[in-house]
Structure 1
Amino acid sequence: MSRNSVMMAVCFCAGMIGALANSLALWLAGDLGITALAGVALAPDLTPAWLYPRLVWGGLWGLLYFLTVGGRNARCHWVRKGLWISLLPTLVQLLLVFPRQTPYGLLGLGLGALTPLFVFLFNCVWGFFTGLFARLLWGRG
């Protein structure tokens, strides 16, 4: 298997781990009432039906992350690149998913005024852990 194929698999797996961290952070914030305290109605139940699609999407976003670290000379600043890439799922969620697939409107403001901030923060969790675990899974390579 070529090194690029291995790196792509590493990025997919790291994206899934990042999605797990993102999902657990979101669930925990909702369960502890942090989001409700901020006036945001984000408090999902931790169920397989909610978690599994998020893991798959996290892996797919990890493939996009691969574009930033896939080149041999591009393998540095793994976490920073993960944080930058996390802006893309944030924008997709706020500008496409919320207004077109949910009744919450542009930026998800129907869930609360601070929804964009929470979406950004939780996606930063994804970016951080994706970058961290991509680096750890890749090893010294």
Structure 2
Amino acid sequence: MEGKRYARFCMAVEHMAKTLQKYKNEKLAAFGLRSMHLMFMFQLNQTEEGLTGTELALNCSVDKAFISRVTGELIELGYIEYRNKTGTKYKNKLILTDKGRDVMEKINTIIDDTITSVTSEITEEQFDIFYTVLGTVDHNLENLPDERAL
């Protein structure tokens, strides 16, 4: 019984993740972006002060090499910039440019429309239960002893 439950759970989560990734990349292509760019821009859109590369790495659970590559791409696209033009880039905060804020406004509209569309048949109570269960599973997976992990 547990094997069927595991297979159903894994297949559902992986299918949803792949479908979401494909959808995001299709929508983001219009802006020259991919889903990896979105997580950075979303984080930067949450703050006026900006974030350092280290803060972005922590918030997005990625390494510094990934940060360096993706921020470089976003700077090249004109969506983000360093707050101060002088000093080391490691302590300098990254912020959205006006172009980046405009794009995030459009992307947020797409996100809102998408969420409304795919969740129209789900009640707030069902969402509360879903996020509680999802949070519990995520927490338990994070804290799974190495000898029990698959």
Do they superpose with TM above 0.5? no
Range class of TM-score, shorter chain: 0.3 to 0.5
Query: Which is higher, the Rg of structure 1 or of structure 2?
Result: 2
| Relative contact order higher in (CA < 8 Å, ≥ 6 apart) | 1
Query: Higher helix proportion, which one?
Result: 1
- How does the TM-score come out when normalised to structure 2? 0.33
